Structure 1
């Protein structure tokens, strides 16, 4: 089961955050947003398919996040959690910790923004389109 999100890179994408990565539907980004990989996301967690959300609400669920931009790709593996709500209307966050709030789409991820392929990050900083595919194996 998959959810597809498309977003845009931005000149302030630095991907320096060591414990999270984020996509936002906001149309702006400040230099302080060092976890944000893309803006103007066309889908937010509150719009995700109910069946997808249910599948993610298990400790046994494996959630794979594939990020693609300008010919570059990075795959992040995380897991689900019973407290995931997918209720946020603005952004989605993957976390290396097990912290959950309404923006969280995966916990215990094996990578954060700072771990991403630097060629991918450079493409995003130059404004490349970002394709994010979330898949769940429950």
Structure 2
């Protein structure tokens, strides 16, 4: 049995994963700053597996966000950038999503579009939609 010593733990898997794909991870033991926790049985509904988008997808999303918000080409837009912090209102966010749909040939459901607040979230959503489409 393996144990992990850290202040935070991240589980990752190779992308793309199909929705509802079973994981081989069944049990994990954690230890934080000398405190041990007994083995925890993992329940699939309690953990979310997310795939990080490719760097080129993140960069393309950054370009689209700069264009839609009329930001200078040298403005600092990264995966962590929040649309609101860049000056986007709800209409701007809708236009950004429309630009993403056009650029990547995807269709974003309204519920999904309303949950996107950062460049990284948008890029991750694009990768997931492209994987489903393939």
User: Which structure shows the higher helix fraction?
Assistant: 2
The reply to whether TM is greater than 0.5 is no
> TM-score, normalised to structure 2's length?
0.28
TM-score by length of 1: 0.28
More strand by share: 1
